[in-house]
Structure 1
Amino acid sequence: MGFWGILFVVLLVCKATGSFEPQIRSSIVGGKDASKGSWPWMAFLEIAVGNFSFSCGASILSEDWVLTAAHCVEPDSNIILEQSYVLLGLHSLQEIEELEDPDVVVRSMSKIVVHPDYDTNNMFNDIALVKLNHSACLSHLILPVKLPGPQDIFGHESECWVTGWGNIDMGVPLSGERILQQVQVPLVRQCACLEAYPLLTSGMLCAGLWEGGIDSCQGDSGGPLVCRSGGTFVQVGIVSYGKGCALEGFPGVYTRVVRYMDFILDTVNPNIEAS
């Protein structure tokens, strides 16, 4: 089945862990439409499994690689690479259906590299890399994200944003043109987040308001959490999981990118941009 014939469905929940059922993130709650080109490293994944497909977010690392969550591309899910696609330069999902935007670049997947210690039950090491079947030309709408370096320190006061095309609330999909959504979220102190998620590890971080109201949600999985560093943004996290969407006392959980720089560089080296 070709890309344009694949149905868009959202993968809503993952396997249970701890005392609750963590839900894979699929959309932005409390966000607003992003301007075209404002987040040029944002990528959209359409992943074919058998006779259906689901979507995730990702971030551009280079002309050949994107970064996403491992739970989006689990090795045991029988993904059909040649029928799974990476879309770059995308702004509105309506543009896909109407084939209107010449700026959108579509590539199929040629290779998936999941972190060797990924734990599907507890969402540990929820990080993966996807290689495109052909290099994509970079432009002002398609640019690699900057990855964190040792000098990058972010905290509760940092300006951080998460983006995605997922639901705008639990079970409520984007409507209309389905434009990329953005929302500013504060980072949550690790000790505070442990109260909500006792299995939180040093390879994870939390972001969102403790009182709820803004968050990533189902469908945003794999997308980037970026924080401002000087005049640019650095990818700090990957949308991973959480309890519900924007619930009080349960911020979103993200894979902490800086803890996985060796994995990323060993896989993609040398063609990515780090701080």
Structure 2
Amino acid sequence: MKRIYGGASATEGQFPYHVLILTLKGGTAFGCSGTILSSSWVLTAAHCMCTEGKTTTRVVIKYGSASQSTALRQEVKRFIVHPRFAKNESPFFMVNDIALLELCAPLDMSLPGVKPICFTKEDLAYSGTVTVTGWGKTSGTIFPESLQHVDLNIYPVNMCKRLYNIFKAGIRDEWNKICTFTKDKYPCDGDSGGPLVAEVSPGCHIQLGITSYGTCTSILPNVATKLSSFADWICESTSLC
């Protein structure tokens, strides 16, 4: 059975911080991923909320389960897109790709499949592997029932930028980006907004990035928003810190 481009299906409770985000824009439904920051706040990518020419009219999250059919639902009261978010005509040159969702009612954090993710203001010199999760495409037009996960290698941003320049699709503001590259393993459509999580010490998992863009192939590295660069904005917007 084909899975998320080199990944596997998650077990119940394995990634309790992950949520599925469903948005209604111009009468069409779109799917993205996100992470639980607290009982009232969810983190995702800005481009999940903003589509040129289409107004987002409704946002719902599904949480608490690795299976879409058994996940709980919660309405989103409002979303906050980073004020300097910008997107080029292509999926590249995306900058400040980060957004926050405030929920209509708090999540029940006592449930076994619900837990917030940790993040840090410190710019960690991390160069290992990260775990990426999502309900994005696993092959062709197939979106999975079960949450998928894959481990990816951190790839140097300067080399990442050099490769994108070859295809005339450079990277701006590379200081707030994280790149990953592992042959035949990558996130794809529908995985945007999902987390890059690292085990920085035994039992300590921290979200380092947010899936932003890529090519759904192994031609180019995947690009993510570096979370530590926006930690102050998250704290100021949510009053969580």
TM superposition score normalised by structure 1: 0.78
Native 8 Å contact 2:181 2:218 kept in 1? no
Specify which of 115, 135, 145 is matched with residue 82 of structure 2: 115
For 1:51 and 1:184, locate their aligned partners in 2 and report how far apart those are by CA, in whole Å.
35
Give the CA deviation at 1:186.
0.6
Report deviation, 1:78.
Answer: 1.1
- Of 89, 102, 116, which residue of structure 2 is paired with 1:144? 116
Measured in 1, the distance between the counterparts of 2:38 and 2:107 equals: 8
Alpha-carbon RMSD across the aligned residues, in angstroms, is 1.7
SS in 2 for 1:186: strand
**179, 186, 205: which one pairs with 2:146?**
179
- Alignment-derived partner of residue 48 in structure 1: 24
Equivalences for 1:1-275 in 2 at 5 Å? Answer: 28-74=4-50, 77-81=54-58, 84-93=59-68, 95=69, 101=70, 104-121=71-88, 122-138=93-109, 139-150=111-122, 152-155=124-127, 158-169=128-139, 171-175=140-144, 178-197=145-164, 198-200=170-172, 201-209=174-182, 212-230=183-201, 231-242=203-214, 244-248=215-219, 250-270=220-240
Compute the displacement of 1:251 (Å): 1.2
Report SS of the residue matched to 1:123: coil
- The one-letter amino acid of 2:143's match is L
For the residue of structure 1 that corresponds to 2:217, the secondary structure is coil
The aligned residue for residue 98 of structure 1 is none
Structure 1 runs of 4+ aligned residues shifted over 3 Å read none
- 1:151 deviates by 7.0
Cα drift, residue 148 of structure 1:
2.1
Q: Deviations over 1:217-258 (max 9, x none)?
A: 11101011101121121101101101x21323x011101111
User: Structure 1 CA distance, aligned partners of 2:32 and 2:65?
Assistant: 13
- 1:45–1:151 distance in 2 versus 1, CA, 3 Å: closer
Asked whether the equivalents of residues 121 and 232 of structure 2 are also in contact (C-alpha less than 8 Å), the reply is no
Quote the Cα distance in structure 1 between the aligned partners of 2:41 and 2:125. Answer: 25
After superposition, what is the alpha-carbon deviation per residue over 1:105-145, rounded to whole angstroms, capped at 9, x for unaligned? 31111111000000021210000001111111113211100
The separation in 2 between residues aligned to 1:119 and 1:187, in whole angstroms, is 24
SS in 1 for 2:4: strand
Q: Specify the SS of the correspondent of 2:142.
A: coil
Give the letter for the 1:234 counterpart: I
Q: Which residue of 1 aligns with 2:167?
A: none
Cα distance, 1:75 vs structure 2? 7.4
Cα offsets for 1:18-66 (capped at 9, x unmatched):
xxxxxxxxx9311011111101000010101132211000000000010
Task: In structure 1, list runs of 5 or more residues that go unmatched.
Answer: 1-26, 96-100
Asked whether the equivalents of residues 44 and 90 of structure 1 are also in contact (C-alpha less than 8 Å), the reply is no
In structure 2, runs of 5+ residues without a counterpart are 165-169
Deviation of 1:187 (Å): 0.3
For each residue in 1:56-81, what CA deviation from the matched residue of structure 2 results, as whole angstroms up to 9, or x when unmatched?
A: 00000000010000000017631113
Letter in 2 for 1:30: G
Using the aligned pairs only, state the percent identity.
Answer: 30
Cα contact 1:28–1:220 (8 A) shared by 2: no
Pairs aligned (count): 226
